[in-house]
Structure 1
Amino acid sequence: MGPTEQLRMVKKLADLDGMHVVVIGAPVPIQKQERARAKCLTNLVVELHGFGVDTLLLEARSANLNRRDVRTVTAARQNLLPARARFHVDHCSGAVEPLLWAANAIAGICRAARLGRSKYRDMLADRVYDVEIDTGC
């Protein structure tokens, strides 16, 4: 996207209701991407539960990787309070759920801010809650 389209996108994101919750994990070595993803996903479940969210919709990957995500969320759910708290995860394609573009855009905006390009992150300051974790990878 060019600068005009990027600015238009950030303005649309700012107009969306709610908070964008992002978990940023590092390091993420190529050979341990799934492990790092699982650690981030575990933390995301905890953060979302803290905001009263009980459903997470993830962009679909392969059936095998989707099952791995479900196992990760199931394990994370065991540590939520109160015990046996309800938390559900599902997958769908971006073609089915248009708002998945927002998650991708927010992730890119947060990454850019970490790399010193914080203009768009600053514009969304009160709409983005991001947490950095050490993946241990």
Structure 2
Amino acid sequence: MPIAYGDESFREHSEHGFYVLTGVVFEPRMLDEAHETLLSLKGRRQKLHWHGMDAAEQQRVVKKLADLEGMHIVVIGSPVPLQKQERARAMCLNQLVVELFVVELYSLGIDLLVLEGRSPDLNQRDLRTVAGARQRLLPKAAKFRVDHSPGDAQPLLWAADIVAGVCRAAHLGKTEHREMLANRVYDVEISTGCHP
């Protein structure tokens, strides 16, 4: 059964802040190839990280990611004023649960989202958010859960980081990499309801 792997990127700003939360989903038959491809791109680093790559590396990594079959769900929420990133994350996570469940209806069968782990308190906040979204936004019989993994332990989380970085850059007007992933990314924009 496919699993979604998630990560985020955000920009806090009094007027132009936004939060990007991704759920990358690879076809089950592509998981091993995706895993090996990401490991091969890592080099000597502990993990792949979008902001740790130069422009040539970003181009190479996005090209490889575009070649792997999958559908990557991206929720972009705004505004995100200063000190409101966790509220924005919760709103985006609610929407991501809904979007992944809709993908489930189209037979991918996703019922688990693995997010890059943060602190124990923040991980618990994600668990509460997903439990609330499942109760309020999904049908009663729906099964959907979230788990956390250290970023350096799960290469498929690196794909989520890359997609989040690409979509953040596109939101800021640098669309070249987003265009390379055009048929692999489905993005939804929402209002976070966050105000200064």
Matches within 5 A, 1:46-57: 46-52=98-104, 53-57=110-114
Partner of 2:171: 114
| Unaligned runs of at least 5 residues, structure 2 | 1-52, 105-109
Give the percent of matched residue pairs that are identical in Structure 1 and Structure 2. 64
Distance in 2 separating the partners of 1:98 and 1:90: 15
Partner of 1:14: 66
2:114 paired with 1:62:
no
Q: Deviations over 1:94-119 (max 9, x none)?
A: 12111111111111111111111111
SS in 2 for 1:30: coil
The letter for the 2-side match of 1:73 is V
Distance in 1 separating the partners of 2:77 and 2:71: 19
SS in 2 for 1:58: strand
| Unaligned runs of at least 5 residues, structure 1 | none
Matches within 5 A, 1:1-137: 1-52=53-104, 53-78=110-135, 79-81=137-139, 83-137=140-194
Say whether the 8 Å CA contact 1:70–1:89 is kept in structure 2: yes
Distance in 2 separating the partners of 1:66 and 1:17: 29
SS in 1 for 2:83: helix
Distance in 1 separating the partners of 2:177 and 2:146: 29
TM (norm. structure 2) is: 0.67
The letter for the 2-side match of 1:62 is S
Say whether the 8 Å CA contact 1:59–1:91 is kept in structure 2: yes
Q: Deviations over 1:1-25 (max 9, x none)?
A: 2222111110121122210111011
SS in 2 for 1:61: coil
